[in-house]
Amino acid sequence: MDVLRIRGGRRLTGEWTVHTAKNAVLPIMAAAVLTAEKTFLEDCPFLSDVGYMADILRTLGCRVARSGRTLEIDPQGMSGYEMPDGLAKKIRSSIFLLGPILTRFHKATVTFPGGCEIGLRPIDLHLSGLRQLGVEIREEGGVIHCDGRHMCAGSVHFDYPSVGATENVMMAAVLLKGRTVLTNVAREPEIVDLQQFLNRMGAKVRGAGSHTIVVEGVSKLHGVSYRPMPDRIVAGTMLAAAAITGGTVRLERVPLEDMHAVCSKLREMGCVLTHQGEGVTLHAPEKLRAFAQLQTQPHPGFPTDMQAQLLALATLASGTSVLVENVFENRYGHAGDLNRMGADVLINGRTAVVRGVKELYGAQVTARDLRGGAALALAALRANGETVIEQAQLIDRGYEDLEGALASLGAEIRRETTNSEYT
């Protein structure tokens, strides 16, 4: 178990460059097996989820190797179509491989995937999308057997715009003969990035970012070198870190176009944001103001992955903030720990009422999921005394060296029992 020790009270200042997005890299790693040629992912972050996904690809017979920040995926020797149970339980994104594996082998076997404990996260939308492409699916003792021998292009409608299901079905359709039209799809920027990657491989996909995606099937894809987009959630977290400490921080490589909802809330709290090119500077006020209401929604609404961080900010704002978590049903695991630090957060179902307090105090707390762990780190940056965050390795799923990033901006933070050698 890793532990982060943070002594609060330092204002963050300085510059930092945002790393590549986990949520762009993971589906792209899955898409890489749609060809037998090599793919090179440039500027690939050192994250534990990337490591798990690489391990799954290796188990399936791919060669995955790093050269500095470039990740090389060679799927030529891929022979497996059964998702390794133990690894798949570690990372929900393993489900992204279902579409690409079906495309290559016309069959696939998976167990229910894992990931952070933030809700039920069923995979019915993935399975329904694949069924609409003609995949026959049967479940036996928790194992899902997919038969893709009769897969064909056609229409796929999603009852809810799931990010992963949209990506999965998009990947399953690129090599099917004819046109596939996906409706009520998710519009997250990482889906646009996946479309760009697939098109660079030779696919014909359009419409990502809108409600409808059209895939014209091609007969073959080829390997490419690709640099995925920067991480809007990491950028938002670092801006929130500057905000809670009353600091001034400049971030480089920020996908600002995809961050309107987050930036607007930070402004509502009194922060001043200025941007130039791909850089943005945040000047925090002496005291943050509460926001009227924050509702998480699919993109372009406020991202659920930034809910915990904004809740942390609200604990120290003047006034009462209300948050409604609409995307996941169980995503307030951090609230109890923030209350241990002196916050005043009341949870009622999907709603959180946060009454701003004057001060937070250092305490021993536990990261329960990736973003909740980051939120505790933010609160600790402004708390009096030392905060100890247990299970800090969960933060490494989506943040590359968070403590290094915060320390470079002046935070007093260190990790014990470091374990950062991820693929």
Per-residue b/e over 284-315, b at no fewer than 16 CB within 10 Å? beeebbbbeebbbebbeebbbbbbbbbbbbbb
Q: Which is nearer to ligand UD1, 281 or 297 (CB)?
A: 297
Residue in this structure with the two tokens 């891929």, named with its chain if needed: 78
Binding site for ligand UD1 (CB under 6 A): 23, 26, 92-93, 119-126, 160, 162-165, 186, 190, 303-305, 327-328
**Residue 327 DSSP class:** S
Pick the closer one to ligand UD1 by CB: 12 or 231. Answer: 231
Q: What is the dihedral sign for C-alpha 49, 51, 57, 62?
A: positive
Q: What angle do CA 340, 346, 349 make, to 5 degrees?
A: 125
Task: Return phi, psi of residue 399, to 5°.
Answer: -120, 125
How many residues make up the chain in this entry? Answer: 423
CB of 335 to ligand UD1, least distance (A): 17
CA atoms 395, 401, 402, 404: torsion sign: positive
C-beta of residue 266 within 8 angstroms of C-beta of residue 273? yes
CA distance 255 to 262: 12
Nearer to ligand UD1, 42 or 124 (CB): 124
| Nearest-CB residue for ligand UD1 | 164
> For ligand UD1, which is the closer residue by CB, 371 or 415?
371
Cβ at position 325, least distance to ligand UD1 in Å: 10
Closest CB 123 distance from ligand UD1, rounded Å: 4
The distance of closest approach from Cβ of residue 415 to ligand UD1 in the complex, given in angstroms and rounded to an integer, is: 23
Q: Which residues contact 117 (CB under 8 A, 6 or more apart)?
A: 330, 333, 368, 369
E strand or H helix that includes residue 295: strand 293-295
Residue 153 C-beta: closest distance to ligand UD1, Å: 21
Q: How far is the CB of 329 from ligand UD1 (least distance, A)?
A: 7
User: Which residue number, 133 or 363, has a Cβ lying nearer to ligand UD1?
Assistant: 133
271 is catalytic: no
Tokens describing residue 303: 């991202």
30 or 153, CB closer to ligand UD1?
30
DSSP state of 210: B
Structure-block tokens of residue 152: 């064909």
User: Judged by CB, which is closer to ligand UD1: 164, or 247?
Assistant: 164
Q: How far is the CB of 165 from ligand UD1 (least distance, A)?
A: 5
Upstream peptide bond of 100 is cis (omega within 30 degrees of 0): no
What six digits make up the tokens of 230?
């920067």
Which residue of the set 44, 62, 116, 263 is catalytic?
Answer: 116
Per-residue 3-state assignment (H helix, E strand, C coil) for 136-203: EEEEECCEEEEECCCCCCCEEECCCCCHHHHHHHHHHHCCCCCEEEEECCCCCHHHHHHHHHHHHCCC
Rounded distance, CA 238 to CA 245, Å? 11
Closer to ligand UD1 by Cβ: residue 24 or 263: 24
| Smallest separation (angstroms) from ligand UD1 to the CB of 159 | 9
Alpha-carbon gap, residue 166 to 158, rounded angstroms: 8
So which residues are the catalytic ones?
Answer: 116
